[in-house]
A and B are shown apart, each in its own frame.
Chain A
Amino acid sequence: MPTTTLYRIERGAIDGIISSLRQQHYTVVGPTIRGASIELDELLSTSDLPVGWTNEQAPARYRLIKLPVESLFAYTVSPHSWKRYLFPPILRLYSARRNGRGFDLINSGEGAPGSSIPDAADAVRPYAFLGVRSCDLHALFMQDKVFGSGTYQDHYYQRTREQTWIIAVNCTLASGTCFCASMKTGPKASSGFDLALTEVITEHEHYFLVEIGSDRGRILLEEVDHRPAESAEATKGEELIENASQQMGRSLDTENIREILYQSADHPRWDVVAARCLTCANCTMVCPTCFCTTMEDVIDLSGARAERLRKWDSCFTMDFSYIHGGSVRSSPRARYRHWLTHKLASWIDQFGTSGCVGCGRCITWCPVGIDITEEYRAIRETYVTNTATSSTKEANDGNA
């Protein structure tokens, strides 16, 4: 039985919420249909959401399917994740202008004329994220640690994140590649949001349950029509979320995962997956927690003005680990192994939690359909078998 106070609102109230946020000069971004998929972009009202659409996801497969109802949130995650707003794909770190034999740094947010690249010194553009799934919310927590817990921090990320509204959405269905339940990152958002919505569609009704997660969330909710949810309504919401939990397309056993992966550097499975992996880097691009970047120095034709740009990068690229003469990880095998080991094991040593939220994007968007849960399962099974065999052997030797 739900213990927190839930409220009930109708679709119109969500439009009211969007409106209010826009009036307060927040850019509301959320899922919207673009071409044959759902992407994240600016929303002006609920009609910009993928109304009446759901998605079918499987390894290397993503399809949008029309529903006979006017649902607002009946899909799961899109190839876009919220990191693109807090941690932009391209960011100008600084510009420099030649001055005699030396140069001056220009850090006032002055980009090249006509440049649309955001600058690290830009004033914060406040966002309101509408439609954040629990897995993506956990991804934000993970990136908060990556960018905010070290000696050196990403201040652009922090300044933007601080002001960003989070309106979470609890999933009432799971897709074929989802496994947030195994990773304990969903399907229900439990904290870190301003408001959390659960869409309930029954034969006769269509409403939204709202949980308040912050003071400003409460104030926002007071601006629109709402009433306390009835017990039956709250229960219905819980049922739908539980449904999603049971529907998970995949699972991943995280017990002892760090130890297992660290001991499995020479597992033959890496050769199996390497034979399939194209090192195309799709997985790292769609992953909501991947954070690798590279720095690019560009100089204009006159040679007088240079810029340093930070761009998303991927550990799958050939020269990611290049040092004088060659790459440390030149084989696809080594690169895939690095990515999976980092995501599921090293991340724990580096940041205290797993780096995977179970969103399934890497599975859906891999052109050859490599499934991280399947790859890990194969490795885990050998480890478990070997450990069982050796302890049986030890026991038997002891008895000999």
Chain B
Amino acid sequence: MASAVDLHVKSPDDIVSSMSPHLYGIQRVRKETEDTFTLELQEKSGRHKLSFAPGQFNMVYVFGVGEVPISISGDPASPVLVHTTRAVGTVTRVMSKLRRGDMLGIRGPFGTAWPVAEARGHDVVIVAGGIGLAPLRPSLYEVLSHREDFGKVVLLYGTRTPSDILFREELEQWRARFDLEVHVTVDRADSGWRGNVGVVTTLIHKAPFDPQRTVAMVCGPEVMMRFAALELVKRGVSAGAISLSMERNMKCGIGLCGHCQFGPFFVCKDGPVFRYSRIKDLLTKWEI
């Protein structure tokens, strides 16, 4: 974890501040769905290495437009920095038009991580909804790279329609593995779809894992996470063994601007990954 650094910089090469970004070049742009895209980035100077834990995010800066928090969606073992995001606002819409060779500013990584180490010796259940699969993908990579350390590994993924499915090729590869159980479902389908239809929470009660020795990681829209957590608890998983990734407005990413407060917690430093037991009472309060 980066330590407290000095803002008094002498030259552009000497940028070590937590509010000043490092420059990254776009190596590759991949369109995932209609509104979601993935960027593969490489740091420009060659002198800064970003190592992150699954679940963490960066503050990504687009020159002259603004900065947004985006979860890292790539493999922690890879030198390439990967971000998958949806074009929903001013900054991300401009970002979606960038091409190979364009540059972004990156500050991070910030935030708490998925409890992958803690899951060793346990069954792992990953429940992803929509774009929530992106912040969870790094933890799946990490689990698969030490597969023998974990029990059953189950990925439950729900999204709106078949055309919103992310990482399609990878999902097929994962599905083909014998040591990984993958179930995909959509909320609504057209006539061509022969897969599951129904909300992702319905996949939980049948998934093959032992609730007494399971670590669950859930990410998606807040409503989906709430209901998924309830289903997991109904199944017998303890609230402390379930982790969620929360999202709030962020301006600094480092606990100083106040925007990301969720009750007494700062999502950027006490989260974004929270244990369900710690936040379950806050989740049901309106406008917290």
Hey, which bits of chain A sit against chain B, CB under 8 A? Answer: 93-94, 96, 98, 101-108, 120-121, 146-147, 150-156, 159, 265-266, 291-295, 297-299, 303, 306, 308, 310, 313, 315, 319-325, 328-331, 333-334, 338, 342, 345-346, 349-350
Number of interface residues of B (CB under 8 A): 55
- What are 27 pairs between A and B in contact, CB < 8 Å? A94-B19, A102-B103, A105-B105, A107-B9, A107-B10, A108-B11, A146-B256, A147-B256, A152-B4, A152-B18, A152-B256, A155-B8, A291-B258, A292-B258, A292-B259, A293-B258, A294-B251, A297-B64, A297-B66, A297-B67, A306-B64, A321-B259, A322-B249, A331-B287, A334-B286, A345-B264, A349-B264
Cβ–Cβ < 8 Å partners of B257 in chain A:
292-295, 313
Q: A105-B20, A313-B257 are in contact. Are A293 and B252 (CB under 8 A)?
A: yes
Hey, which bits of chain B sit against chain A, CB under 8 A? Answer: 1-12, 14-15, 17-21, 23, 25, 44, 61, 63-67, 86, 88-89, 101-103, 105, 247-249, 251-252, 254-259, 261, 263-264, 266, 269, 285-288
Once the chains bind, are A323 and B248 in contact (CB under 8 Å)? yes
A201 to B153, CA, bound (A): 78
A320 to B88, CA, bound (A): 17
Q: How far is the CB of B166 from chain A (nearest CB, A)?
A: 17
Q: A293-B256, A295-B257 are in contact. Are A104 and B12 (CB under 8 A)?
A: yes
A146 to B5, CA, bound (A): 16
Q: A150-B254, A303-B64 are in contact. Are A338 and B261 (CB under 8 A)?
A: yes
Name A299's contact: one of B20, B64, B248 (CB within 8 Å): B64
Name B101's contact: one of A101, A156, A323 (CB within 8 Å): A101
Once the chains bind, are A350 and B248 in contact (CB under 8 Å)? no
Q: Closest residue to B110 on the A side, CB-wise?
A: A152
A345 to B263, CA, bound (A): 10
Cβ–Cβ < 8 Å partners of B251 in chain A:
293-295, 313
Q: Which 5 A-B pairs rank lowest in CB-CB distance, beginning with the nearest?
A: A292-B258, A102-B103, A334-B287, A299-B64, A152-B254
A127 to B284, CA, bound (A): 47
Q: Closest residue to A306 on the B side, CB-wise?
A: B64
Once the chains bind, are B249 and A320 in contact (CB under 8 Å)? yes
Cβ–Cβ < 8 Å partners of A156 in chain B:
7
Q: How far is the CB of A318 from chain B (nearest CB, A)?
A: 12
Cβ–Cβ < 8 Å partners of A154 in chain B:
256
Cβ–Cβ < 8 Å partners of B17 in chain A:
107, 120, 155
A331 to B287, CA, bound (A): 8
Once the chains bind, are B249 and A150 in contact (CB under 8 Å)? no
Cβ–Cβ < 8 Å partners of B2 in chain A:
151
Cβ–Cβ < 8 Å partners of A295 in chain B:
66-67, 251-252, 257
A355 to B198, CA, bound (A): 47
A322 to B250, CA, bound (A): 9
A159 to B263, CA, bound (A): 31
Which of B6, B44, B105, B287 has the most chain A CB within a 10 Å cutoff? B287
Cβ–Cβ < 8 Å partners of B4 in chain A:
151-153, 155
Q: A265-B288, A306-B63 are in contact. Are A101 and B102 (CB under 8 A)?
A: yes
A328 to B248, CA, bound (A): 8
Q: Closest residue to A156 on the B side, CB-wise?
A: B7
Once the chains bind, are A159 and B255 in contact (CB under 8 Å)? no
A331 to B14, CA, bound (A): 44
A315 to B247, CA, bound (A): 17
Once the chains bind, are B249 and A107 in contact (CB under 8 Å)? no
Q: How far is the CB of B81 from chain A (nearest CB, A)?
A: 16
Name A152's contact: one of B9, B21, B255, B258 (CB within 8 Å): B255
A306 to B91, CA, bound (A): 15
Cβ–Cβ < 8 Å partners of B252 in chain A:
293, 295
A293 to B7, CA, bound (A): 17
Q: A292-B258, A323-B248, A324-B88 are in contact. Are A94 and B44 (CB under 8 A)?
A: no
Cβ–Cβ < 8 Å partners of B247 in chain A:
323
Q: A150-B269, A265-B285 are in contact. Are A159 and B103 (CB under 8 A)?
A: no
Cβ–Cβ < 8 Å partners of B266 in chain A:
350
A359 to B21, CA, bound (A): 38
Once the chains bind, are A346 and B263 in contact (CB under 8 Å)? yes
A323 to B67, CA, bound (A): 13
Name B9's contact: one of A121, A322, A323 (CB within 8 Å): A121
Cβ–Cβ < 8 Å partners of B86 in chain A:
324
Q: A120-B7, A150-B256 are in contact. Are A105 and B15 (CB under 8 A)?
A: yes
A344 to B192, CA, bound (A): 57
Cβ–Cβ < 8 Å partners of A338 in chain B:
261, 288
Q: A107-B11, A329-B287, A334-B287 are in contact. Are A297 and B255 (CB under 8 A)?
A: no
Cβ–Cβ < 8 Å partners of A329 in chain B:
287-288
Name A346's contact: one of B5, B8, B12, B264 (CB within 8 Å): B264
Once the chains bind, are A121 and B8 in contact (CB under 8 Å)? yes
Cβ–Cβ < 8 Å partners of B259 in chain A:
292, 294, 313, 320-321
Q: How far is the CB of B131 from chain A (nearest CB, A)?
A: 10
Q: Closest residue to B250 on the A side, CB-wise?
A: A323
Q: A345-B264, A350-B264 are in contact. Are A150 and B255 (CB under 8 A)?
A: yes
Q: How far is the CB of A364 from chain B (nearest CB, A)?
A: 23
Cβ–Cβ < 8 Å partners of B248 in chain A:
321, 323, 328
Which of A146, A306, A333 has the most chain B CB within a 10 Å cutoff? A306
A98 to B25, CA, bound (A): 14
Once the chains bind, are A151 and B20 in contact (CB under 8 Å)? no
Once the chains bind, are A101 and B103 in contact (CB under 8 Å)? yes
A107 to B18, CA, bound (A): 13
Name B63's contact: one of A98, A153, A310 (CB within 8 Å): A98
A313 to B61, CA, bound (A): 20
Once the chains bind, are A151 and B287 in contact (CB under 8 Å)? no
Cβ–Cβ < 8 Å partners of A108 in chain B:
9-11
Cβ–Cβ < 8 Å partners of B286 in chain A:
334
Q: How far is the CB of A359 from chain B (nearest CB, A)?
A: 19
A294-B251, A320-B249 known; 9 new pairs, CB 8 Å cut-off, are A93-B20, A120-B19, A152-B256, A297-B64, A308-B67, A310-B19, A313-B259, A321-B248, A346-B261
